[in-house]
Amino acid sequence: MANVRRKRPKPSLIGSLFLYHQQQAVQEKFRQAGQSLDDLNAWLDKVERELAGQQAPSEDVDSLRAQIKGLKAVKDDVDEHSRPVSHTWDLIVELTETGADVLSSAELSQLQNEGKRLKERLNQKCLLK
């Protein structure tokens, strides 16, 4: 069997492939952040509707218990979403810091603004810790 020598890729090709994969990773993170923002905003719309639908506290013990149970369910739901909210915000910060060479300034600005709006909505409802 003959001794077969494999050609090594040129350094410029390796660098180009590495850069391509980095760009793909940034694009995927951008897509994930956008999808997460959409999902979290839809969830927050639902929570706001639930809170808006709450009636004034009742003097009837059974009604009051039902209201408390409903509000506790909303609180538990918010607590369960605190990690996805934080993760999405961290992703936005990471993209803002590292994605400027791949994403346009308009894309980064829009992502930041949408993330800030989500946090403001949560803070307005006193839902974010």
Inside any domain, residue 2: no
Inside any domain, residue 16: no
Rounded Cα gap, residues 115 and 60, in angstroms? 41
Summarised one tens digit per residue, pLDDT across range 28-81 is 999 999 999 999 999 999 998 988 888 888 788 988 898 899 889 988 998 899
The residue-averaged pLDDT of 9-30 equals 77
Inside any domain, residue 37: yes
Q: What pLDDT does residue 129 have?
A: 47
Task: Please count the residues of the chain.
Answer: 129
Query: Token pair for residue 97?
Result: 């810091």
Inside any domain, residue 13: no
Mean pLDDT of the residues in the chain: 85
Summarised one tens digit per residue, pLDDT across range 59-73 is 889 888 988 998 899
Rounded Cα gap, residues 40 and 17, in angstroms? 34
Inside any domain, residue 85: yes
Which range of residues forms the domain containing residue 35?
29-124
Inside any domain, residue 12: no
What values do phi and psi take at 107, rounded to 5? -65, -45
State the total domains in the chain: 1
For residue 51, the surrounding DSSP H or E stretch is helix 11-52
Q: Are 118 and 37 in contact (CB under 8 A)?
A: yes
Inside any domain, residue 6: no
CATH number of the domain to which 100 belongs: 1.20.58.60
Inside any domain, residue 129: no
